[in-house]
Amino acid sequence: QVQLVESGGGLVQPGRSLTLSCQASGTNFLAYEMGWHRQAPGKQRELVAVISRNGATNYTDSLKARFAISRDLAADTVYLRMNSLTHEDTAVYYCHAELVVGGRMGDLWGQGTQVNVSS
């Protein structure tokens, strides 16, 4: 069984930075694309950024200048560095992974980590 465990969320002041982490843990799996989505109150879940095993990245255009996704393959961990945070970044951030588990392709979501941007 594989799970995604997120950490790093919390309360942060506007203009500050925050880094989220998400580690895939379990046995007999290989994670391919990993990434982050977010869901603000009253809004649909949206893509933030994704990263492939070879380091190729894709961002929502409006976030590309402030957010950076990175990955540690050996640790099966993906990070999201968020800079110059604003109130509009308040959301639940979800980790997502496309992976092969026991020879079968599938995808997995984390439980979500809350980010509150407030003074």
Per-residue pLDDT tens digits for 36-45 = 999 999 999 9
- Amino acid making up residue 21: S
Q: 75-84 in b/e burial notation, b at 16+ Cβ within 10 A?
A: ebbbbbebee
In the predicted model, is pLDDT for residue 100 greater than 90? yes
How far is residue 63's CA from residue 66's CA, in Å, rounded to a whole number? 6
CA distances from 44 to 38, 84, 85 (A): 8, 23, 20
**What are 51-79's pLDDT values in tens digits?**
999 999 999 999 999 999 999 999 999 99
Q: Helix, strand, or coil here: 31?
A: strand
Sign for the pseudo-dihedral over CA of 72, 48, 90, 62: positive
Tell me if 82 sits within 8 A of 90, measured CB to CB.
Answer: no
The pLDDT of residue 87 is: 97
> How many whole angstroms separate alpha carbon 100 and alpha carbon 46?
24
Q: What is the pLDDT of residues 4-46, one digit of tens each?
A: 999 999 999 999 999 999 999 998 999 999 999 999 999 999 9
Rounded distance between C-alpha atoms, residue 109 and residue 107, angstroms: 7
Is residue 1 scored above 90 in pLDDT? no
Task: Take residue 95 and report the two structure tokens written for it.
Answer: 């980790």
